[in-house]
Amino acid sequence: MIMRPDILAKAYDANQPMSNWSKIVLTPRGKPLSQKIVKKIASKPGVLLVCGRYEGIDERFIESRSLEEISVGDYVLSGGEPAAFIVLDSVIRLLSGTAGSSKSLIEESFEKNNLEYPQYTRPYDWEGLKPPEVLVSGNHKEIEKWKKQTSIKDTEKRRPDILYSEKK
């Protein structure tokens, strides 16, 4: 089943997005969603997401409405609805007033071409496992050094593809 272009065009045109909105179709053929793309979408006043179902959308509709094709991963879903939720959630968290403080978003994974450092909380000793001593030392300079070094080391191990990628 492929979604018909005439039916989609009626729905799209009835909800005519502003010219400065992001207009996206979610498809496995699209560019991979990245933090850079999420920031671009969040900077716009609105977004219109088109979701396919099963076999997808007639290509003529995508071309006629100049939709940007985005993929949320190298896998196939039954429909674009879960992908739309992923896009919306990643964008909404960047909007002013959503996070407690915009400063809390600065150290997150993918912000500086690396993964965030591991997180720890109470209890101090859980099943014989303890957080690194530096984190309970009170030495803020050493804690920041540990966060940076651990972030880079973990990224090299888990996601070297992003560590040296183009700055976001």
Which CATH number covers residue 135?
1.10.1270.20
Domain interval for residue 153 = 107-163
Look up the pTM and report it. 0.83
Q: Is 75 contained in some domain?
A: yes
Same domain, 22 and 62: yes
Summarize pLDDT for 52-89 with one digit per residue, the tens.
988 899 999 999 999 999 999 999 999 999 999 999 99
Q: Is 102 contained in some domain?
A: no
Contact by Cβ (8 Å): 3, 50: no
Summarize pLDDT for 8-63 with one digit per residue, the tens.
999 999 987 788 999 999 999 999 999 999 999 999 999 999 999 888 999 999 99
Distances (CA, A) of 133 to 120, 138, 142: 11, 10, 11
3-state DSSP percent of the chain in helix, strand and coil, to 5? 40, 15, 45
CB contact set of 167 (below 8 Å; sequence gap of 6+): 113
Q: Percent of the chain beyond pLDDT 90?
A: 77
Same domain, 116 and 38: no
Q: Is 101 contained in some domain?
A: no
Same domain, 83 and 9: yes
Q: Which residue has the tokens 């972030």?
A: 151
19: Cα separation from own chain's centroid = 23
Q: Is 51 contained in some domain?
A: yes
Q: Is 99 contained in some domain?
A: no
Q: Quick one: pLDDT at residue 44?
A: 96
Query: Domain of 54: which CATH number?
Result: 3.40.1280.10
Q: How many domains does the chain have?
A: 2
Same domain, 15 and 88: yes
10: Cα separation from own chain's centroid = 29
Same domain, 46 and 76: yes
